[in-house]
Amino acid sequence: MKFNISHLLMLLGAAVALVPIVAVDFVIDAYVEHWEKSVAERHVSVDSSTVASSASEGVAALRKVWSDSPSLCAQTFVQNAQAAVQNNVSVLQFVVENSDGTQYCDAFGTGVTYAPLSTALPIPGQSETLTVVRYGAMDAPVLKITQEIGETRKLSVFVPLLPQSIESHLRTMAPSTMKRFSLTNNQPVLVLGTSGEFEADKAPDDFILAAGYASQFPIKVELAIPFDVARSHYRDLDLVFTVLAALLSGAFLLGVLSYFRRSRVPAFNLERAIERNEIKPYYQPVINLRTGDLVGCEVLCRWEKPNGRVVPPNSFIEYAENTGLAIPMTVSLMQQVRGDLSELCKTIPNFKISINLFEGHFRDGGIVEDVQAIFGNSPISYRQLVFEITERRPLRNTLAATSVISGLHALGCRLAMDDVGTGHSNLAYLATLGVDVIKIDRIFVDMIKKDTTQVPVLDGLIAMGKDLDCEIVAEGVETEEQALYLRAHGVVHAQGYIFAPALKAKIFIELATALHRSGGNARDVLARVATAN
């Protein structure tokens, strides 16, 4: 098991180191897809706006000529039609026809040669219809916009679909690109560029696609670019990213290897350390701010290595949680607590011992059985035990957590919420999980400065604890001003360096015994013990 855990972490580190290299293609593909699609959408927007503008000018010119002409084909009509053609770049010609297409007149009296390429479609919200036609010798299709006048006559205006020739338009398109103009009934009007690949049986993901509509006019513009073609334009960027990813991966891998070689904490030795009881309980006193009495302690852990080096918990606690070693580590600590403090708890029946539990304990109901097995027949009673819910990870399975808390409550143990107001602390737990004690984190206590009269956040937490009928313990008390402020605001219990740091078992037991026998004030005795420690 030891071999597997340590080497598994090494393999995971190596796998993570390769992620940047593997991710390069995905990152570049996503960038190309996003950027090229935005470019394609801009092109489509320009084309559809151009078509809409041309058609709108045609509609406006047709209506003006009609409204300004008392009679179709009269001299006034001809003059108005010629003026409209001369004044509007988008207007090519006017024609008056009957229902079977016979021409009565046009703007220049030369006759209009055109051939329909589509059926006539209504323009939504307008009285006119739109038809795509082949106009004279023009290579690009032309839009014929028609207004029926009476039952037998029709007035039409011709406007270009494209502002320039097909050849000129093709020169503005990238190679292998396909652009398609069609009516909204899917009837094709004009296809430019390379359409073979697009019309082949390929998945949509093989192309960068964009589509748009010419405002209210029934014309759709589509643009398709083969993704491989677009991707090929980013070879230089691909190379740069690959080099950077390789450098990043190499640096990360060297960092992982260096970390394991330098510290070997906790990847290789933690499990063995738990088995050898190298993870030792240290005891930080909890003081009654009103009486100065020692009322209990919080169990903290240190790794005492055989060479005398003491490793702080922040170097291995997270690893212990991630690997599941936090559970056997807690069992080992509780067994040592039973050996260290049994006589003290027998002598001081109201003495309270706080022990940290982790998120994994609340997914594994075995902690209740462990508490029974360790403390069931010991001088330490269940009512002297307080189990703290730590805040490194949220309690995800509230059903399982509630079951564990109910089991501990049934034994007579109490539950505390650690670091309330920080980390993953969920104030709803206080009501829903049956928490008995809240521990205010030192970051709020640190807000108390000299001459401080009000700390709204801290005061709110204290008020909330009182409203919920929870016991309150302040952590990280380091100055006399902080102790006095907390006492004045109704906080009874506190711990921190103003009293003492976490102490080894022998020193802590000597302290507690001396205080119990003398009945003296804890603060003075603690100061002497802290100096000696």
Rounded to the nearest 10 degrees, what angle do helices 2-68 and 75-87 cross at?
150
Whether 417 maps to a domain, the answer reads yes
Whether 100 maps to a domain, the answer reads yes
Q: Same domain for 51 and 155? A: yes
Whether 71 maps to a domain, the answer reads yes
- Percent of the chain with pLDDT strictly greater than 70: 86
Average pLDDT over residues 268-277: 83
Average pLDDT over residues 97-120: 91
Average pLDDT over residues 474-502: 93
Q: Same domain for 270 and 122? A: no
Domain closes at, from 208, 231, 254: 231
Q: Same domain for 153 and 200? A: no
pLDDT band at 304 (very low <50, low <70, confident <90, very high): very high
Whether 25 maps to a domain, the answer reads no
Q: Same domain for 44 and 142? A: yes
Average pLDDT over residues 200-212: 75
Q: Same domain for 334 and 448? A: yes
From CA 59, how far away is CA 47, in angstroms rounded? 18
Report the CATH number that the domain containing residue 118 is assigned in CATH. 3.30.450
Average pLDDT over residues 288-293: 90
pLDDT band at 99 (very low <50, low <70, confident <90, very high): confident
Rounded to the nearest 10 degrees, what angle do helices 366-375 and 326-347 cross at?
30
Domain count, the chain: 3
Higher-pLDDT residue of 316 and 196 is 316
Q: Who contacts 43 (Cβ-Cβ below 8 Å, separation ≥6)? A: 210, 223
The boundaries of the domain holding residue 172 are: 166-231
pLDDT of residue 3: 41
The DSSP element (H or E) to which 193 belongs, if any, is strand 188-193
Domain closes at, from 143, 160, 177: 160
pLDDT band at 171 (very low <50, low <70, confident <90, very high): confident
Q: Same domain for 435 and 354? A: yes
Whether 391 maps to a domain, the answer reads yes
pLDDT band at 532 (very low <50, low <70, confident <90, very high): very low
Average pLDDT over residues 328-339: 95
Residue 225 scores a pLDDT above 90: no
pLDDT of residue 7: 57
First to last CA, the chain: 37
Report the CATH number that the domain containing residue 382 is assigned in CATH. 3.20.20.450
Whether 524 maps to a domain, the answer reads no
Show the tokens assigned to 304. Answer: 């005492």
Whether 118 maps to a domain, the answer reads yes
Higher-pLDDT residue of 19 and 44 is 44
On average, the pLDDT of the chain sits at 85
Q: Same domain for 180 and 52? A: no
Residue type, 373: A
| DSSP-derived pairing of the beta strands 129-135 and 114-116 | antiparallel
Q: Same domain for 277 and 223? A: no
pLDDT of residue 428: 60
Residue 461 scores a pLDDT above 60: yes
Q: Same domain for 145 and 206? A: no
pLDDT of residue 484: 92
Please, which residues bridge with residue 105 across strands? 96
Domain closes at, from 160, 190, 220: 160
Q: Same domain for 148 and 185? A: no
From CA 138, how far away is CA 112, in angstroms rounded? 13
Rounded to the nearest 10 degrees, what angle do helices 505-518 and 522-532 cross at?
150
User: pLDDT tens for residues 21-66?
Assistant: 777 778 888 888 888 899 889 989 999 999 999 999 999 999 999 9
Residue 262 scores a pLDDT above 60: no
Average pLDDT over residues 461-466: 90
Higher-pLDDT residue of 265 and 464 is 464
| Candidate from 181-190, 326-335, 524-533 with smallest mean pLDDT | 524-533
Q: Same domain for 409 and 378? A: yes
Q: Same domain for 173 and 305? A: no
Quick one: DSSP state of residue 174? P
Whether 257 maps to a domain, the answer reads no
